[in-house]
Chain A
Amino acid sequence: MWGVGIAPKRNIDFEVIVVDDGSPDGTQEIIKQLQQVYGDGRIILAARPKKLGLGTAYAHGLKHASGNFVVIMDADLSHHPKYLPSFIKKQMETGASIVTGTRYVSGGGVHGWNLLRKLTSRGANVLAHTILWPGVSDLTGSFRLYRKSVLENLISSCVSKGYVFQMEMIVRASRQGHHIEEVPITFVDRLYGSSKLGGSEIVEYLKGLVYLLFAT
C-alpha cells in the first residue's frame, strides 16, 4: 500500500514479487486478492512447492523481475517499505550499484532486542570488521537495493546458506569493487513471537566468517 502511494508521485515504475515457499498461513490467497486490487502486473507471485532456501529463492524471484533495480527485503514487517524512497534517492544521487540498509548508524536502529542480544550483535560486528574489512557497517542486514545485473552476478557466485548468504553477498560485492552506499533503516524485530539467537546460530556465524576470510 505504501509503495503504491509513493511511487506515482516520483515517476517510479515498480512491481512487487513475492517468493513463497508453500507457507501454510494463506499467503498465496492474500496475494491473489491483492492482485485484484492492484493488478497482476504490479503484484507477482513466484510460488514454490516447499522451503528451498534463500539463495534459490532470490534466483527464482529474479527470473520474474523486469526492472533494472531490485530491492530485497523481509516480508515479516521487520523491514518497513517507508524506507524505499531513501534507497532509491541514494542510488539516484550516487549512481551506486548497491544500496544497503544499516541498522547501526544514527537515524537507524533496532527495537525488540534485549541487552544480551545487542551485546552479541555488537560483538559479532566488531569481530567481522576486524577479520573481514567489509566496507559496510551492517553485514547481516537483508534490506538492500541492487542493480539487477550485479545481483544476478552475486547470486551465482555465492554458496552460503541462511543469513551468512547475506554476508557473503555484500562481502563479495565489496571485494569486486562495486559502488556500495548505505542508508539508515529501523528494524522492528519479530512483531509476532520472539527472535532467538542460540548457540548453533553463533557457531554458524563463526564458520561463515572463517569461510569468508579464506574464500573472498
Chain B
Amino acid sequence: MHLFLYCDSLSGLRTQVFYTIKMKHIVKILCILVAVAAFWIGLLQSAVVPRSQALLLPVYLIITLGCYGLLMVGIGLMRFPTCPQEAVLLQQDIIEAKDFLKQRGVDIGSD
C-alpha cells in the first residue's frame, strides 16, 4: 500500500491519495494512527528523547493540529470570496428575463 499526501492549495486542504489496495477511509486513518503510535512507542523505548518530554508528544501533536485548524479557518475567513456585484447582475437578469418571457406570453408575475 502506497500512501501519498500533498497540499496543493491554500483555499482548502486538497489532498490526493494514491493507493493500490482499496480500503475504507476510516481504515486509512487508523493505519496512520497506528503508525504514529508505533513511532511514539519506539521513541519512548529507545530513549532518544528524554522520557518526560516524549510522553507529552501526543499532547503537542493535538495542540499543533488544533492550531493548524484554527489558522486554516481564520485564513479562509479573511480570504472568503464575496461577489456583491453578482446580486446586482442577477436583479438585472431577472428583469431582462421577465420582459423577454412576457413578450412571448409567459407571465411570471411578481413574487
What residues make up the interface of A, taking CB atoms closer than 8 Å to B? 1-2, 30, 33-34, 36-37, 77, 80, 82, 103-112, 118-119, 122-123, 125-127, 129-130, 132-133, 135, 137, 175, 186, 188, 191-192, 212-216
Contact = CB atoms under 8 A, between A and B. Distances in A.
B81 A106 contact: yes
A108 B25 contact: no
A24 to B, nearest CB: 13
A133 B105 CA distance: 50
B73 A191 contact: no
Nearest to A182: B14
Nearest to A118: B80
Contacts of A127: 69
8 smallest beta-carbon distances between A and B, as pairs: A109-B83, A109-B81, A137-B12, A33-B106, A122-B76, A129-B13, A186-B86, A186-B83
Given A104-B12, A130-B13, A110 B93 contact: no
Nearest to A129: B13
Given A33-B106, A108-B81, 19 more contacts: A2-B97, A82-B93, A103-B81, A104-B76, A104-B80, A110-B83, A123-B73, A126-B12, A126-B69, A126-B72, A129-B14, A129-B15, A133-B17, A137-B11, A186-B83, A192-B111, A212-B25, A213-B25, A214-B26
A188 B87 contact: yes
Contact of A33 (B11, B29, B93, B105): B105
B90 interface: yes
Nearest to A215: B24
B84 interface: yes
B10 to A, nearest CB: 10
A22 B16 CA distance: 42
Interface string B1-31: 0000000010111111100000011100100
Interface string B37-75: 000000000000000000000000000010001001100
Contact of A132 (B25, B93, B107): B25
A110 B77 CA distance: 12
B105 A111 contact: no
A215 B24 CA distance: 7
Contact of A111 (B13, B16, B84, B108): B84
A34 to B, nearest CB: 6
A80 B77 contact: no
A123 B76 CA distance: 9
B80 A122 contact: yes
A37 B13 contact: no
B80 A175 contact: no
B106 A191 contact: no
Contacts of B87: 111-112, 188
